[in-house]
Amino acid sequence: MPRPSDVFLTLWDLAVSGALWTNLAPSLMRLLVGSTIGATVGIAVGVMIGLFSFARAGLVPLVAAIFPIPKIALLPLFVIWFGIDEASKYALIAFGTFTPTVVSTYGAVDNVDRSLIRMGQSFGLRWSTVVFRIVLPGAMPGILSGLRVSLAIAIILLVAAEMLGAEYGIGAYILQAGSLYDLERLFAGVTILSMLGVLLSTAVGAVEKHVLGWRT
Amino acid sequence: MELRLEGVSHRYGDVEVIRNIDLSIPKGRIVCIVGPSGCGKSTLLRFLGGLERPTSGSVSQVGEPPSDSINPLTYVFQDFALLPWRTVEGNISLILSDHGVPKKEAEDIITDVLARTKLSDFRKALPKQLSGGMKQRVAIARALAVNPAVLLMDEPLSALDSQTRELLMDDLVDLWTRAPFTAVYVTHNLAEAVRLGHQIVVLSRRPGAINEIVEIDTPLAERSSADPDLERTQQHLWALMRAEAEAADMELIDD
């Protein structure tokens, strides 16, 4: 085991030499693009499932079927479909965040207080108003807590995505260090991922505080 | 505008819940519907609001709703149904803006209904900051904001404690005295019925049918809980319902 001080020194060197940024920048980009696509499509599909029984009948088994597939195992497939460049990495992260987001979103929509929807209908509100002003805000607590899980999964998949054909990136850096048994660098990389996790979780927390201030 | 039920019967599968009800809701009056639990009171209210259709019989509107009525048949629910993420004002403005009321006009309507329900100081409050009684006042304000032709109230005071219920009954009497509205008021509380009803419809146990219709002529504003006439009416209503309430209480729930 490397000493914590050695890990810290390695991190310091990384920061000073500028290698930190060359590795972090592409990783952040992959994380951002991939999880944004995955979460957006996931929320949209989850809301559809929550609202329409035909969507539920068709999509719930499909989501249940793709959820347990280790997305890492599909990486070669994505490389063939999307090329070895960034697109396959985006696709892997997007696909991985999509499924947990769908599941948590339709659960959240199911949990919206039915009496509020009935109220909206009894006042003759338009369908779109009921969805965007009653269902979505009501489902927001569940959607955001689902997002915490999805974003953690996105970080896990980031490393997987960088296993193939990534010159730079935190994942690539960790894998390279791992294959050389350079434990200081390995731990430095892992520390960065952990900090990234804490950062994302804090960000979701800040959004929750802002958006869900109405909760008791 | 008046509402009229003619020969309304309803069954859920094999279970007959309502049998042959004829009833009309006259304009500017409060009609209370009382009955033992499970007699189909709330179902009847859903028919009146058009949320559900009876198996047979007809529900009709007689005459046109007033032209400035935004939502002619408006419910007030037992559980308030306020959006917890919107302020008092926001809960009302959502409905007005969806019906295309201009912002300025909506502001005026909101100011007016909040003043009528004594909520002017709570305009920016969130539902979580309000007591149960205040929440129901907001729900009533929201219902008044759309200027309904008929208010359909489903046990509006049943979730409140008895003191708050007294206060809200006084408020409802005040509201009606200043500007008479038409309402159907479903309740299982006979004290509420004799206090607020011009007409009290007593339903029998399932299948719900009209047992008796009691008219009370004393003006709402002059009714007090100590009034011997009202006391007698309430006793009479209880005598009508007692045996059935007992039977309903003993019933096994098998569905």
Q: pLDDT tens-digit profile of B132-174?
A: 889 999 999 999 999 888 899 998 888 888 888 888 888 888 8
Whether residue B57 lies within 8 A of chain A, CB to CB, comes out as: no
Q: What confidence score (pLDDT) does residue A142 get? A: 93
Q: Does B121 reside within a domain?
A: no
Opening angle at CA B76, ends B127 and B188, nearest 5: 115
- Give me the mean pLDDT over the A58-81 stretch: 90
Q: Does B244 reside within a domain?
A: yes
Question: CB distance B75–A214 less than 8 Å?
Answer: no
Q: What confidence score (pLDDT) does residue B254 get? A: 61
Better pLDDT: A33 or B3? A33
- Give me the mean pLDDT over the B207-227 stretch: 80
Count of the separate structural domains present in chain B = 1
Question: CB distance B81–A119 less than 8 Å?
Answer: yes
Is the Cα dihedral B48, B53, B54, B56 positive or negative? positive
Q: What confidence score (pLDDT) does residue B53 get? A: 86
Q: What confidence score (pLDDT) does residue A201 get? A: 93
Arithmetic mean of pLDDT over chain A: 91
Kindly give, in sequence order, each residue whose CB lies less than 8 Å from that of residue B240, ignoring residues fewer than 6 positions away. B202, B211, B212
pLDDT 10s digits, A146-171? 999 999 999 999 988 887 777 888 98
pLDDT at B227 over 90: no
Q: What confidence score (pLDDT) does residue A214 get? A: 84
Please answer whether residues A47 and A135 qualify as being in contact, where contact means their C-beta atoms are separated by less than 8 angstroms.
Answer: yes
Q: Does B136 reside within a domain?
A: no
Between B71, B84, B94, which is nearest A124 by CB? Answer: B71
What is the domain extent for residue B177? 2-63+149-254
| Residue A85's pLDDT band (cuts 50, 70, 90) | confident
- Backbone phi, then psi, for B68, in 5-degree steps? -90, 10
| A145's tokens | 């807590």
pLDDT at B101 over 70: yes
User: For chain A, which residues lie within 8 Å of any Cβ of chain B, measuring from their own Cβ?
Assistant: 115-116, 118-119, 121-126, 129, 133-134, 137-138, 212, 214-216
pLDDT 10s digits, B30-49? 999 988 777 788 888 888 88
Q: Does B111 reside within a domain?
A: no
B225: domain CATH number is: 3.40.50.300
pLDDT at B83 over 90: yes
Q: What confidence score (pLDDT) does residue B191 get? A: 85
Q: In Å, what is the CA distance from B188 to each residue of A23, B34, B157?
A: 70, 5, 10
| Residue A59's pLDDT band (cuts 50, 70, 90) | very high
Q: Does B114 reside within a domain?
A: no
What ipTM is given for this predicted complex? Answer: 0.85
Residue from A116, A123, A212 to probe the interface with B (highest B Cβ count within 10 Å): A123
Closest CA to B70 of A114, A122, A115: A122
Question: CB distance B94–A118 less than 8 Å?
Answer: no
pLDDT at A69 over 60: yes
Please answer whether residues B8 and B19 qualify as being in contact, where contact means their C-beta atoms are separated by less than 8 angstroms.
Answer: no
Q: What confidence score (pLDDT) does residue B214 get? A: 83
| Residue B253's pLDDT band (cuts 50, 70, 90) | low
Q: Does B247 reside within a domain?
A: yes
- Taking the model in full, what pTM does it have? 0.83
pLDDT at A111 over 60: yes
Q: Does B143 reside within a domain?
A: no
C-alpha B54/C-alpha B39 separation (Å) is: 15
